[in-house]
Structure 1
Amino acid sequence: MAVDGTTLAHGIGGAQDLPISPELAIAGAVAALTVSFTVLAVAWRTPRYDARTSGRPAPPWLDALVASPGFRIALRVLGFVLFLYTVMVAVLGQDRTTNPFFGIFYVWWWVGLVPASLLLGPVWRAISPVRTINAAFARISGGDPEEGMFRYPERLGHWPAAVGLFAFVWLELVYPFSTELGPVRLWCAVYVAVMLIGGALFGNVFYERADPFEVYSDLVAKLSPWAVREGRLVVLSPLANLASVVPRPGLVGVTAVLFGSTAFDSFRDSGTWLRFLQGNDLIRENSMFGVETAATIANNLALLTFCVGVGVIFAAATMATGGVENRRTLPDRFAHSIVPIVVGYIVAHYLTYFVEQGQQTLILASDPFGDGSNYLGTADLQINYWLSYHPTLLANTKVLAVVIGHVLGVIAAHDRAIALLPRRHQLTRQLPLLFAMVGFTAGGLFLLFAA
């Protein structure tokens, strides 16, 4: 998607000219993981993270602010105002890439959820317009938004959220008309409709389990230093907070879609994949579908392969650890360890995109109808390309984000393993998961530099 001559597409943009040797970065990352595991094996022999007992109370003034009804109402109002603005530009705005709707949808909403949730906690839960609309409907009908007509099936877990997340990344990364107003507007309308129907049927638990954006935000928020325990705001270690993720069915599916789609986003811009699409005889000579359609089918299969592949590899590695009566429960019980890896790749993959295109969206938002207006006073701002002008810093930041994410993932997995596995097999049975982590690290960094 182009905005004023600037390409608005995900990816780190020119990764091959980053001033770091890919081989050196990959070797260093693998060494960091291996050393981390070795140190943990020697010095970390008992579980240390328990969100039920970790942390300390937040400052009283902050706890009182967060717990106050006025603060919560203000967040609801803020979320709904943003929602109404987005609806306005989606319905009345021009079908051009300069419509701020695309930036709000792809940049502020999708990518922005990560830094917002890391810094502030479960942001989408607090500002979600579908929760607000559901609460309004419940109040009008005299019902309770917490209670629906039926009980949410436990076996569904987070699977609906995983499907919703895959639908989003498919629209963003594969669908050939992802920058046309009609299809994206329809996707949003379907999302809102499904969420409102689900809330009416199952109450707010539906949003906790099935809303793709709330599940995504809540998972990332588990790496924030904020948590609410027994009605009080507490400050605690992000890894202790992460340990409180509830292992529900579909949790591996959610993390696999988030991780796999980000990896595919790098892969689809790699020279290897582009040469395959351009030089493959089957695609070039496909007379039934046409070249573009055949390439789209190939991208669909590749996206699905990445997401399913991550899930299968992780599930196989965790189930290989054994040590419990039902091995099928292990993937979801370890899935929280993928969250730091996902966040690391989001930072590495979308940092420049978010900073620069986020500014572009703010500029365009002041002139939503393309008529020269300046409603927000931001139309005359200029994009700051400071990050792009410092490639060494940018490259180091991206690699560091990936490595830190994987190291934190290893720590979270190790802490969970020593809590679950028999004492005499606590280290040896972690090796399959360590090998999977090393593979994810090497593969992720390779794709980061290949894009």
Structure 2
Amino acid sequence: MSTEFLAHGLGGRTDLPLNGAAAVVGGALAVAVSFVALLALWSKPWLDPEAGRPVRFAAVNSARLRGAARIVVLLLAVFVVAVGFFGPAETNANLAPWALFVTFWVGLIPASVLLGPVWRAVNPLRTVLSALRLGRDPRPVPGWLGYRVATAWLLGFVWLELVAPNRADPRLVAALILGYALLNLAAAARYGPAWFERGDGFEVYSTLLARCAPLGRRSDGRLILRNPLAGLVRPDPVPGLAGLACVLIGSTAFDGLTRTSWWQALLNATPLPDVLVATGGLVVSIAGISVLYFGSMRLSAVVSGSSEPLAARFAATLLPIAVGYGVAHYFSFFVIEGQQPFILAGDPFGTGLDLFGSAGDAPDYSVLSPGAVAMVQINAIVLGHLASTAAAHDQALRSFDARAARLGQLPVVVAMVLLTGTGLLLLLSG
């Protein structure tokens, strides 16, 4: 077990029992064929954010339950920071980096997609803000900020996760968590709880992923079981969503790139420091995804005859791709290395305790076979692009007449096919 493996969250793909070329071609063809099927079978808008079966389980809306959960999460967050500062100095023996990079960051994906905006419900910063009675006379959050501050936070975090040297050092992790909390609390003291909806990168991240969840809320606040794609066609006037989605997709693509033999050869060949090369690679990956998305949207506007930019209108339809990439790249890491935080929790401060009888244990790598990993990874990428294509098609039908919708979708589908093939290629390259 190494700090490098911890920080990246990827590894061991070269032993997957797959024909890589066949998987790449097959995945790209699946997206192309699905678009043809959509044109033939999906001729009018079908997704409805207001439709769904009401959830009658009272505990879901219980204020007491939410309050108790917020207190528990706050105590856990304080505990993790304390362990980071005062626990063992070695990464492999300290709970804090594992809790941040594995349990929290990766765990937010399945939690948000399955249960909804969980971090908004239990955000410890909201609890602290309320307890300190701050932000009671807030100023409105400037509309032009949109999701841009949250995007900057997430960009900084993925740089930390994928590029920064010594990124898994427990003291650094604890200091960064504390600094992040203080800066966002200072902003929330000025702008009130509404700040977290726009400026807290992790709350924004969880809330946006939750738009793919089968649990959602109608405009009247009623909780419903719905089509998981229905939340992607809800209008979102907040600027910056497209850029945020490109950061999420591009950073995960870069994570895959760093595991290829080509990348390792580049690092060995260049005289530049690894951190500088990796920073450039991360920027180029995000820029490449951005150019592909915004370029396809510009072409879509031209061929459909639209007089307005389309990038913002279709931005939410990128979210299934971000979910698919996240699942594909972190599934095995979460299941296997995600055992480590529970092992370390038995002796958090390195005093010789063995609260859970886990002292000396190691993650059980036999819980997942290479075949199971391969199946989840490939299906996650392909299904993410299929879901995105379907949601974009429904959004196009809402925006244009049938002919313009068909023409406008052609550049989008080409981009989806390229993304699918590239995503699979990076995933399966050794």
Under a length normalisation based on structure 1, what TM-score does the superposition of the two structures give?
Answer: 0.90
Post-superposition Cα deviations, 1:218-238, rounded to whole Å, max 9, x if no partner, equal: 111111111123232211111
Cα 1:247–1:15, aligned 2, differ >3 Å: closer, same or farther?
farther
Match of 1:391 among 363, 370, 373: 370
Tell whether the 8 Å contact from 2:233 to 2:391 is kept in structure 1 after alignment. Answer: yes
Aligned partner letter, 1:55: G
Q: Measure the CA separation in 1 of the matches of 2:192 and 2:239.
A: 19
* Bigger mean CA deviation after superposition, 390-399 or 181-190: 181-190
Aligned partner letter, 1:22: G
Q: Measure the CA separation in 2 of the matches of 1:196 and 1:102.
A: 22
Q: Which residue of 1 aligns with 2:146?
A: 157
Match of 2:332 among 342, 345, 352: 352
Q: Which residue of 1 aligns with 2:84?
A: 90
Shift of 1:273: 1.0
Q: Which residue of 1 aligns with 2:54?
A: 57
Tell whether the 8 Å contact from 1:114 to 1:343 is kept in structure 2 after alignment. Answer: yes
Cα 1:324–1:349, aligned 2, differ >3 Å: closer, same or farther?
same
Post-superposition Cα deviations, 1:101-142, rounded to whole Å, max 9, x if no partner, equal: 01001001100000111221111111111111111122xx6x
Q: Measure the CA separation in 1 of the matches of 2:408 and 2:217.
A: 34
Tell whether the 8 Å contact from 1:161 to 1:211 is kept in structure 2 after alignment. Answer: yes
Q: Measure the CA separation in 2 of the matches of 1:275 and 1:382.
A: 32
Tell whether the 8 Å contact from 1:247 to 1:335 is kept in structure 2 after alignment. Answer: no
Q: Measure the CA separation in 1 of the matches of 2:235 and 2:402.
A: 23
Q: Measure the CA separation in 2 of the matches of 1:124 and 1:377.
A: 31
Match of 2:186 among 178, 197, 219: 197
Cα 1:133–1:377, aligned 2, differ >3 Å: closer, same or farther?
farther
Q: Which residue of 2 aligns with 1:366?
A: 346
Match of 2:12 among 5, 11, 14: 14
Post-superposition Cα deviations, 1:70-95, rounded to whole Å, max 9, x if no partner, equal: 11111111211211211221221122
Q: Measure the CA separation in 1 of the matches of 2:173 and 2:42.
A: 48
Post-superposition Cα deviations, 1:128-185, rounded to whole Å, max 9, x if no partner, equal: 11111111122xx6x64xx52x111111100111100000011111111202233323
Cα 1:221–1:245, aligned 2, differ >3 Å: closer, same or farther?
farther
Q: Measure the CA separation in 2 of the matches of 1:429 and 1:242.
A: 18
Match of 2:45 among 44, 47, 57: 47
Give 3-state SS (helix, strand or coil) of 1:234's partner. strand
Cα 1:277–1:374, aligned 2, differ >3 Å: closer, same or farther?
same
Tell whether the 8 Å contact from 1:10 to 1:353 is kept in structure 2 after alignment. Answer: no
Give 3-state SS (helix, strand or coil) of 1:427's partner. helix
- Percent pairwise identity: 38
Aligned partner letter, 2:400: L
Q: Which residue of 2 aligns with 1:122?
A: 117
Matched, 1:77 2:71: yes
Under a length normalisation based on structure 2, what TM-score does the superposition of the two structures give?
Answer: 0.94
Point out where structure 2 has 5 or more consecutive residues left out of the alignment: none
Aligned partner letter, 1:2: S
Q: Measure the CA separation in 2 of the matches of 1:9 and 1:211.
A: 22
Q: Which residue of 2 aligns with 1:249?
A: 239
Q: Which residue of 2 aligns with 1:217?
A: 206
Give 3-state SS (helix, strand or coil) of 1:375's partner. coil
Q: Measure the CA separation in 2 of the matches of 1:399 and 1:354.
A: 17
Shift of 1:442: 0.6
Cα 1:11–1:358, aligned 2, differ >3 Å: closer, same or farther?
closer
Shift of 1:379: 4.0
Tell whether the 8 Å contact from 1:260 to 1:306 is kept in structure 2 after alignment. Answer: yes
